[in-house]
Structure 1
Amino acid sequence: MRLTRRGAGLLATGPTLLAAGFGFGYPELAVLGCAALVAVVLAVLHALWRPVLAVTRRADPDRVMRGDDSRMTLTVHNNSRLLAATLVAYDRCGAAVVPVPVLRLRPGHDTVAEYPVPTDRRGVVAIGPLRVVRRDPLGLATAARASGDVAQVWVYPTVHRLSAVPVGVVRSLDGRVDRVPHGTITFDTLREYVVGDELRHVHWRTSARIGELMVREHLDTSLPRLVVLLDDRLCAHPGGRDGTADSFEAACEAAASLVVAAHREELPLVLQAVSGDVVARDGRRSDTRAYLDLLAEARLRGTGDGDDLDRAVARLRHRRAGDTLIYLTGPGDAADLGTVGSLRGLYPTIVVGTLGNTTGAPSTMDGITVLSAGDGAGFAAEWDGVRAW
């Protein structure tokens, strides 16, 4: 709660008028001073009264591609039984402030505000909380409070269609990668029982502990798997600030395009950031939401050294995750490409995408396919220009 300039002026003038009125025998001045102080006290009490509000918000949709439409619907309901809420409210939507018309909100009624969510930039747009400002009729005091929770809208990178993806070294006779079959030899995870599952796969100890049937899910580890390594180091993207850079945005678009293409071809995929965030799902069971959420939340990190990349490569070396490694980075550093190239003995196919500069990276390296592009669309064109995977 704070006093406005008018309220602070009255608070300072009131005692002066009282002192002058009583000291010099002017009752009129004393009455004015007393009225000023009473007005300030009543204004403070009026502003401090907290209306009972219920704030709900709904984003439609809450996950969109960059540039697509998303709208936020905000509903403010007055739960008070007797008093109307005279308020001025503002909702925060990313970096913008949106006014919400809730003046004279009667008891038991609500007001609805709808406004577009900015989707011109990749990221997670935080919306809320609602900032409710209550002031007295004379404008002497105001009190601002936060009401309601915070919603989020995930803005995904732009996806460019890729005509094909590398399928590694294991192919079926008809030229497509086989789907992961149930019942193969490698344990993956536990899941709830569904009609048709074999009872010999039921994990009885876990089922007894949680009170419902749980079965062991297995997968065939011989199937090819794509591994996308996204370089989110600040040193790999010159000119980066506020957690992003043009080259990093292009790398996120390239990663999103690979995710969607792998999902279309039902290929298992691992998306790993150099900083350590990983999403790994079976191509048959998963959708793209977890991958694209990670890309929407991705920010540039680090202080400028290559230790994070060394650790990421070490993780890939000790736990081979697939047949094809795709490394997406900034304009290109020969030392970084050499670090990733040390994995040639483990991954039959290694592709390096250098984004943001078409002249700063080598065009070829021994055993590595290097694609240089200025943006995500350029990467898709370079990718589709590869004759065969």
Structure 2
Amino acid sequence: MADTPVPVLDFSGADSGSCAACGERRTILPLPLLDAGNDIDLPVRDFDGFRRFMLEELAARYPERTRWTPADMEVVLVEALATVLDQLSDMADRAFAEAYLETARIPSSVRRLLSMIGYDAAAEASAKGQIGWDPARPEERFAALENFWAKNPYEMDEARRAGPRAIRTQHRMVSLNDHAERVEDHPLVLRAKARSFWTGSWETIFVAVVAFDTRLSLGSAVPLPADATNEEERLERQQLIEEIERFNKRNEMPLPDWSMHPTLRQVLAPFVERMRMAGREVVLDDAIPVGIALVMSIIVRPNYFRSEVQSAAKAALSDRPGGLFEPGRLNFGDDLFASDIIAALMALDGVENVCLFRFKRVGNDQPDQTASGRIALDGLEIPVCDNNPARLERGYLSLTLHGGLSG
């Protein structure tokens, strides 16, 4: 490198008759650097490229030599140096690749890159039951994840793809829609609706929820597998419990103490506390069930048993999966139309015609809406029809069948 030029004051002009107190600042600049030329081929990164480059340089420096054989000492040294350069080049490529999520291959690098965008791959893998660790030693979870990915690289590729997609998912409760959408993420909740009210000193967000079973309220205990009456119900409840536990692990929340028979509110409250904004109160609220009274007759086609058609009709208008009153099928305030009920029954095998005689809310003071074919709902109301004689206020269904075969 050239030295920094030093300016010098020159008073030699006084000899020529000029002012003796006047000087001139002179700086002697260094000579410009020689052009290095383009004799370095930067794209060369492998053994063959390095070997050829150095041999071409030797041939240019010693043109009088016309023969180069692999046994020559110069060629041996060139090939040994090319081998080392090829290894260093590969190491540089590998190190550069680990800096980007798309090209990283080491599990620890992928995990760190995913954590930089807010994706906890260890929590996701734990929620899926792929890894486990001692809760008293949380530092083990990273080692468990990396060991699992080393044995299952396709799972690492799946996390590599899922991480960037998760950036677009809102994980906070800011707007009213955010409150409803985040609460709906919980396995216990099918529908949620958020409202904002001024409660005197601050604004409170009320979130009404439709649970996986509309017969349950926020004060009801989560049904456990031990309380099931049959094997199918026990398996459904067991799957729900496992899904809740995976959800809590994914969101780094403590698991519910099932021995204490927690209520729906007690299971949902930790999740709401984790997601809500600081300084904002969020209150969980129940939906308002509206019992629906249905009285109708069905004409059964010939060669169909009335008992089978009746069972199919009750299932089509039940709250079981696929039924018209399945929890979560209708949103808050969605009107109920008679045409939907008739269409659900007409789609059944053996049904020739359907006549609707009563279509109204439960209650003597509620008008019949058979003529209009529409029951208007508003606010937090959702239609229910449990058809339980012990709870007629939650709706009932009366069917009269004609034609077909008896039995």
TM-score, structure 2 length as denominator?
0.24
Structure with greater strand percent: 1
Please state which structure has a larger fraction of its residues in helix: 2
Taking structure 1 as the reference length, the TM-score comes to 0.25
